[in-house]
Structure 1
Amino acid sequence: MSYAYSLHEQAMLLLKHPKYNEWASFVEHHPHGSPFQHPDCHALFSSYGKLPHKALLHFDQEDHIDGIITAYPCSFFPQWPAIPHALIGINAPLVDPHCTPLQAQTILYQLHSALRKSKNRQTPLIEVREMNGKSGSPYRTGSTKTRLYLNLVKEITSPETILQGSSPTLKREIQRIRRSPFTTEEAVKEDLVPLLHLFKRLYRKIRKPMIAKSILRGIVDSKREQYSFRLIVTKREGRICGGALLGFCKETCYEWYIVSDRTIKDSGVATTWGAMEYAQQRGYKQFDFMGIGREGIPYGVRRFKLKFGGTITTYHRYWL
């Protein structure tokens, strides 16, 4: 009999869990797998987060994983007092590609139903984002609101491909940055205070979802225990002028959160360019910007991101 349940072990216990390797392998070999469904993500939130991360695993009759849905907690639209927190599920549910359409529909229904039970007064909203090729899925079970969004994915197989398709203006800016004292490196504990200040100031201003600061600290602390996430900083003459939270799975680097100090000239381009170079130098071939808003609706950084070139895709967001 198939069933779904939630795991809440601490990180060290999770690494020893009998299903850890199977869980990681399922995500890493799934065509739509991402770091957000990886057990490393669940371990980070379980160890360092204040609100529970939801990881629902579905098993077949032989007790093998055949479906996963995850959702991480974050602050959500601070101007809405009725919604202090939300759960966000990135890249939609994963179902074993070998399942029949009927089996897949059943698994997705059970995963959605189980995740919907996580709603409560403190977390009244669950948003699922069908990225990574899942746009148009017919299984948005129980969705009350569905919207189409745009995303941008850039090839970064070599330093040359990073520049291909970028605007002439951006190419000039990058040439200027290369002559300037900008550096990009992995964040250490001493970088956290100024970097967290930049994140806090930006996300309060734009009123967008933000994960807990403790998770960013946890990523820095757990670099030896997990390889799915890294926090990087961009500096100019030793001063932090930007940073990015990156996720990694298979050949793709995901720009989960990014910030720059607009009082420092070229810091925005230097931070994004530094993140792309960081990923390319470590063998990743795609850079996922993780959203450029909705078509026809103004979105602050869309024009900036499009300067880097890449392929525009569409995906759905829906609320449970």
Structure 2
Amino acid sequence: MNKELKYVFDPTQVERLKWSEFVSGHPKGNIFQTPQMYDAYKTSKNYDPVFVACLDTEGSIRGLLVGSVFSEKDGALKNLISRCIIFGGPLLSPGVPAIDFVQRYNDFVKKKAVYSRLANLFDNSKELSGIESVGYEFKEHLNYNIDLARSQDEIWNSIQNTRRRQIRRGYRRGISVNISFEIDDIADYYGIVLETYKNAGLPLQDISFFESVYNNLSREKNILFFSAYYEGKLIGHRIILSYGNRLYDWFAGDNPKERDKYTNDVLVWEVLKWGNENGYEVFDFGGAGEPGKEYGVRDFKEKFGGKLVAFGNYLIVHQPAKYAMLQSLLKVHRSLKRSR
């Protein structure tokens, strides 16, 4: 352990401005490591935010991690399915030993979460080299990043022909798109996402999470709503997070009865076009599943001309017995779903 570094686990022990400046000044700084995202976790149902920072002898931040312990259920099940997810962290300065940092994190969270996942937004293979020695396992996971710094014609021409036709068709069939940093009622957007997730057989976070993220990120215009309307009615949307020179695909949903309008295709194009016009350089498409496994979402995202990246995740199991039980329950759940 580096004795010159002091570790803190309470965000009030760090000046908020210094925290923001550390994230914004880090080459891999991202929206998920900001004070605003920590605050959003703090006021969301079923979320317990996690904060770890290491400070040098002068009190400057040298490393930082923001995540959250999350469980869809309360009661007895909560202890079985609680896990900590860290998007885009930790952020470490040169010279900070990754092994020491994640070991401090492990010691802090191991009684709160059955397992943890470091979801990489960049290639962190050098920064996190060696953390396998303290229990982490690298898991392959894909994503698409779309270059927004090209000309708009280049972005358009990189989209598959079929998608381009569908986008044109959507406009011809009467779709209009509104782009805004503020909305009147998050419940309208949540309802569409909830229905989309139900149809896909996926769980969705409580509405308080959406409300809290909106309330905390909208102040500095770090959240955008791309809303598709047909005859004055909201039929689909994409919620986008913005930070630095990047846009992040966050949540999306559409009305399945209106899919002849190609809502999703039109909305993705509107995001790419807006990002290009407003000086953003990268659109992070928000994940494309595991290689070798069929995933319809990946098939959709592939058609928009992005670069396939494999930054992966790091997984660590803190409570092996509970994790084994959880995997068994998930296997039974999947089997029951297939038999229906």
TM-score (norm 2): 0.78
* Residue among 140, 146, 159 paired with 1:154: 146
Equivalent residues of 2:37, 2:216 under 8 A apart: no
CA shift digits 1:116-146 (9 cap, x unpaired): 532446x423211122121464243533543
CA distance in 2, matches of 1:245, 1:85: 26
Moved more, 148-157 or 45-54: 45-54
Given the alignment of the two structures, is residue 164 of structure 1 paired with residue 157 of structure 2, yes or no? Answer: yes
CA distance in 1, matches of 2:181, 2:137: 38
Moved more, 234-243 or 199-208: 199-208
CA shift digits 1:17-62 (9 cap, x unpaired): 8622221121112111111111121122224555221121111122
Structure number, greater radius of gyration: 2
Closer, same or farther in 2 for the Cα pair 1:70/1:182, shift >3 Å?
same
Equivalent residues of 1:150, 1:315 under 8 A apart: yes
Equivalent residues of 2:37, 2:217 under 8 A apart: no
* Residue among 261, 275, 300 paired with 2:255: 261
CA distance in 2, matches of 1:190, 1:73: 30
Q: Which residue of 2 aligns with 1:91?
A: 88
1:4 Cα deviation (Å)?
A: 2.1
Moved more, 163-172 or 112-121: 112-121
1:5 Cα deviation (Å)?
A: 1.9
Closer, same or farther in 2 for the Cα pair 1:87/1:20, shift >3 Å?
same
Given the alignment of the two structures, is residue 234 of structure 1 paired with residue 228 of structure 2, yes or no? Answer: yes
Give the number of equivalent residue pairs.
305
CA distance in 2, matches of 1:94, 1:83: 29
Q: Which residue of 2 aligns with 1:143?
A: 135
1:302 Cα deviation (Å)?
A: 0.8
CA distance in 2, matches of 1:312, 1:57: 32
Q: Which residue of 2 aligns with 1:195?
A: 189
CA shift digits 1:223-253 (9 cap, x unpaired): 5533333344332232222223322222110
CA distance in 1, matches of 2:219, 2:124: 30
Unaligned runs of 5+ in 1: 10-16
Q: Which residue of 2 aligns with 1:14?
A: none
Equivalent residues of 1:262, 1:268 under 8 A apart: no
Q: Which amino acid aligns with 2:156?
A: L
CA distance in 2, matches of 1:108, 1:33: 20
1:170-249 matched pairs, under 5 angstroms: 170-179=163-172, 180-186=174-180, 190-206=184-200, 210-222=204-216, 225-249=219-243
Q: Which residue of 2 aligns with 1:294?
A: 290
Q: Which residue of 2 aligns with 1:13?
A: none
Given the alignment of the two structures, is residue 125 of structure 1 paired with residue 115 of structure 2, yes or no? Answer: yes
Q: Which amino acid aligns with 2:177?
A: T
1:76 Cα deviation (Å)?
A: 6.1
CA distance in 1, matches of 2:68, 2:221: 18
Given the alignment of the two structures, is residue 273 of structure 1 paired with residue 276 of structure 2, yes or no? Answer: no
CA distance in 1, matches of 2:255, 2:242: 25
Q: Report sequence identity in percent.
A: 19
Structure with bigger helix share is: 2
3-state SS of 2:143 partner: strand
CA distance in 2, matches of 1:205, 1:190: 26
Q: Which amino acid aligns with 2:104?
A: S
CA shift digits 1:50-92 (9 cap, x unpaired): 52211211111221101011213444699xx574442211123
1:310 Cα deviation (Å)?
A: 1.3
Q: Which amino acid aligns with 1:268?
A: N
Equivalent residues of 2:43, 2:208 under 8 A apart: no
Closer, same or farther in 2 for the Cα pair 1:212/1:68, shift >3 Å?
farther
Given the alignment of the two structures, is residue 285 of structure 1 paired with residue 242 of structure 2, yes or no? Answer: no
